[in-house]
């Protein structure tokens, strides 16, 4: 819909992706009037859609450890005498991760039999979802060892206590990627 003050020939580009130089030129000639959604309008629509569930507040003493994988870092707090709740970045773990990554996170708990008696509060940042899930698994395994030293041989045998040092290799000059050379041309 064209505003009346725009005059003839005005086009609203609200839903289209347009070259910014062209938009500036047209705006200078007063052929288009730009309208933008305010931040308040966009947040109101999100709030109408669904209400966030109340998350439990963990209190008391906790064991704090850090887990890492690739570029991801997970700060983990293990609370004893819990009921198996895992909160990641102030969201339920099932909301934050897909089901396949949730199984990665639960592996050390399932192996040691602590699925239902510990609570975890986790802050994770960096990397992708897979790296974050594996960083959390590394941290949970470390926390379980601090909780009970007798769990160490079982967790170590699975390799969950070792920090996986593999990372993305850096790009080299003259190459397209880390090792990918440009296509060879005969002439």
pLDDT per residue over 75-122, tens digit each?
999 998 888 899 999 999 999 999 999 999 999 999 999 888 899 999
pLDDT tens digits, 124-160: 999 999 999 999 999 999 999 999 999 999 999 999 9
Selection from 72, 71, 158, 63 nearest residue 120 by Cα: 63
Kindly state whether residue 151 falls inside one of the protein's structural domains. yes
Kindly state whether residue 141 falls inside one of the protein's structural domains. yes
* Same domain membership, residue 103 and residue 16: no
pLDDT of residue 25: 76
Residue 62 predicted with pLDDT over 60: yes
* Same domain membership, residue 68 and residue 27: no
Kindly state whether residue 46 falls inside one of the protein's structural domains. no
Phi, psi of 73, rounded to the nearest 5 degrees: -130, 130
3-state DSSP helix/strand/coil % of the chain, to nearest 5 = 35, 15, 50
How are beta strands 72-79 and 62-69 bridged, if at all? Answer: antiparallel
- Looking at the structure of the chain, the number of domains it has is 2
- For 5, the enclosing helix (H) or strand (E) is none
Kindly state whether residue 20 falls inside one of the protein's structural domains. yes
The sign of the torsion formed by the CA atoms of 40, 46, 51, 56 equals negative
Selection from 149, 104, 148 nearest residue 124 by Cα: 104
Selection from 161, 52, 60, 72 nearest residue 122 by Cα: 72
* Same domain membership, residue 100 and residue 21: no
Domain of 86, in residue numbers: 62-158
* Same domain membership, residue 118 and residue 74: yes
* Same domain membership, residue 95 and residue 144: yes
Residue 48 predicted with pLDDT over 70: no
The sign of the torsion formed by the CA atoms of 36, 39, 44, 50 equals positive
């Amino acid at each position: 819909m064209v505003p009346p003050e725009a005059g003839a020939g005005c086009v609203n580009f609200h839903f289209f992706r347009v070259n910014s130089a062209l938009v500036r030129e047209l705006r200078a000639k007063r052929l288009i009037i730009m309208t933008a959604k305010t931040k308040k309008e966009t947040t109101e629509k999100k709030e109408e859609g669904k209400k966030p569930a109340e998350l439990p507040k963990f209190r008391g003493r906790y064991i704090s450890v850090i887990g890492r994988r690739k570029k991801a870092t997970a700060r983990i707090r293990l609370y004893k005498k819990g009921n198996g709740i895992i909160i990641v970045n102030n969201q339920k773990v099932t909301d934050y991760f897909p089901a396949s990554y949730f199984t990665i996170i639960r592996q050390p708990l399932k192996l040691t039999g602590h699925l239902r008696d510990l609570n975890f509060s986790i802050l994770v940042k960096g990397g992708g979802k897979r790296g974050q899930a594996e960083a959390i698994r590394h941290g949970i395994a470390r926390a379980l060892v601090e909780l009970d030293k007798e769990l160490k041989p079982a967790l170590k045998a699975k390799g969950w206590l070792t920090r996986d040092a593999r990372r993305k290799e850096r790009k080299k000059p003259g190459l397209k990627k880390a090792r990918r050379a440009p296509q060879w041309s005969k002439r």
